[in-house]
Amino acid sequence: MPQPTAIIDLGTNTFQLLVATPGNISEPLQIISQLQRPVQLGLGAMETGILQNDAMDRALAALTEFKDVAVSKGCKNTQIHAIGTSILRRASNTQQFLAEVDRRLGIKIQVISGIEEADLIYHGIYHSLPQPWNPISLVMDIGGGSVEFILFEGTRILFKISLELGGLRLLSLFQQDVQFHSSQLAELQTYVLEQMKPLFTACAEHKPSVLIGAAGAFETIWDLAHADSPGSVIPPASELVITQFYQQKKWVQETDFEGRQNIKGMKAFRAGILPYANVLIATVLEKLSIENMWVSSYSLKEGYWFLQNK
- pLDDT for 177 beyond 80: no
What domain count does the chain have?
A: 2
Domain boundary, last residue among 91, 111, 131: 111
Domain containing 253: what range?
115-300
pLDDT at residue 76, rounded to an integer: 95
- For residues 38 and 147, membership in a common domain is answered with no
- For residues 71 and 121, membership in a common domain is answered with no
- pLDDT for 166 beyond 80: yes
Q: Does the residue 306 lie in any domain? A: no
- For residues 76 and 125, membership in a common domain is answered with no
- For residues 41 and 60, membership in a common domain is answered with yes
- For residues 126 and 104, membership in a common domain is answered with no
Q: Does the residue 67 lie in any domain? A: yes
Among the residue ranges 271-275, 291-295, 301-305, the one predicted with the least confidence is 271-275
Q: Does the residue 239 lie in any domain? A: yes
Domain boundary, last residue among 62, 90, 111: 111
- For residues 258 and 176, membership in a common domain is answered with yes
- For residues 97 and 126, membership in a common domain is answered with no
d(CA 140, CA 55) in angstroms, rounded, equals 26
- pLDDT for 176 beyond 70: no
- For residues 174 and 294, membership in a common domain is answered with yes
130-148 pLDDT tens trace: 999 999 999 999 999 999 9
Q: Does the residue 15 lie in any domain? A: yes
User: What is the CATH classification number for the domain harbouring 48?
Assistant: 3.30.420.40
Q: Does the residue 122 lie in any domain? A: yes
Q: How does 101-140 read in b/e, with b if 16+ C-beta sit within 10 Å? A: beeebebebebbebebbbbbbbbbbbbbbeeebeebbbbb
- For residues 189 and 273, membership in a common domain is answered with yes
For range 267-287, the mean pLDDT: 94
- For residues 195 and 293, membership in a common domain is answered with yes
- For residues 78 and 139, membership in a common domain is answered with no
Instruction: Say if CB 43 and CB 174 are below 8 A apart.
Output: no
Domain boundary, last residue among 111, 130, 155: 111
User: What is the CATH classification number for the domain harbouring 128?
Assistant: 3.30.420.150
Instruction: Say if CB 236 and CB 298 are below 8 A apart.
Output: yes
- For residues 138 and 270, membership in a common domain is answered with yes
Instruction: State the helix-helix crossing angle for 167-174 and 274-288, rounded to 10 degrees.
Output: 110
Q: Does the residue 286 lie in any domain? A: yes
